[in-house]
């Protein structure tokens, strides 16, 4: 007896070679938008807490531009992430000893919240669920 073919979430057969299916197999499903909004809120709070006085000059509007849900990211740096951080918006760089220590602390705080981040490049970091 022939085994019934399982369907892909896109409605395609599991062995489909279309670009969408290949991308989904390679990267996994995107993070749901509500989870992205939660990751953005947590990330903003962690950044404000860790960087404190060093980012007081960043307004709420600038923070909204600096930390965005991945699906709203204008650069589409990492569509499978939960959030994107634009570091060039006034955050200390990770290229100094002081900056590295602060970003390590950000990483630890995000991990406590079930998230982690990794650099896409020197100006953009992607935040993912653990």
**Helix-then-strand count for the chain, H and E:** 4, 4
Is residue 13 scored above 90 in pLDDT? no
Verify that 65 and 1 share a domain, yes or no. no
Contacts of 57 (CB under 8 A, 6+ apart): 90
Range of the domain at 97: 31-129
Contacts of 99 (CB under 8 A, 6+ apart): 92, 93
Verify that 38 and 83 share a domain, yes or no. yes
**Tens digit of each residue's pLDDT (9 = 90 or more) over 52-93:** 988 989 999 999 999 999 999 988 888 889 999 999 888 887
Verify that 24 and 50 share a domain, yes or no. no
Angle at 108 (CA atoms; ends 85, 69), nearest 5 degrees: 25
Based on the structure, what is the number of domains in the chain?
2
Verify that 55 and 70 share a domain, yes or no. yes
CB 65 within 8 A of CB 111: no
What pLDDT score was predicted for residue 62? Answer: 94
**Global pTM?**
0.76
Verify that 88 and 65 share a domain, yes or no. yes
- Distance (Å, whole) CA 47 – CA 93: 13
**Tens digit of each residue's pLDDT (9 = 90 or more) over 94-119:** 677 788 899 999 999 999 999 999 99
- Distance (Å, whole) CA 63 – CA 87: 10
Verify that 51 and 2 share a domain, yes or no. no
Verify that 25 and 44 share a domain, yes or no. no
What pLDDT score was predicted for residue 4? Answer: 42
Verify that 47 and 67 share a domain, yes or no. yes
Burial status of residue 39 (CB atoms within 10 A of its CB: 0-12, 13-18, 19 or more): buried
Verify that 20 and 62 share a domain, yes or no. no
Verify that 13 and 46 share a domain, yes or no. no
Verify that 35 and 53 share a domain, yes or no. yes
């Amino acid at each position: 007896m022939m085994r019934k073919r399982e369907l892909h979430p896109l409605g395609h057969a599991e062995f489909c070679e279309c670009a969408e299916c290949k991308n989904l197999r390679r990267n996994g499903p995107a993070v749901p938008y509500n989870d992205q909004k939660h990751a953005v809120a947590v990330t903003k709070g962690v950044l404000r807490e860790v960087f404190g006085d060093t980012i007081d000059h960043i307004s709420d509007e600038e923070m909204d531009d600096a930390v965005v849900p991945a699906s709203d990211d204008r650069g589409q740096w990492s569509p499978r992430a939960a959030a994107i951080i634009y570091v060039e918006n006034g955050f200390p760089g990770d290229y100094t000893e002081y900056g590295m220590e602060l970003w390590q602390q950000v990483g630890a705080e995000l991990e406590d919240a079930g998230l982690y981040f990794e650099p896409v490049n020197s100006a953009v970091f992607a935040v993912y669920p653990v």
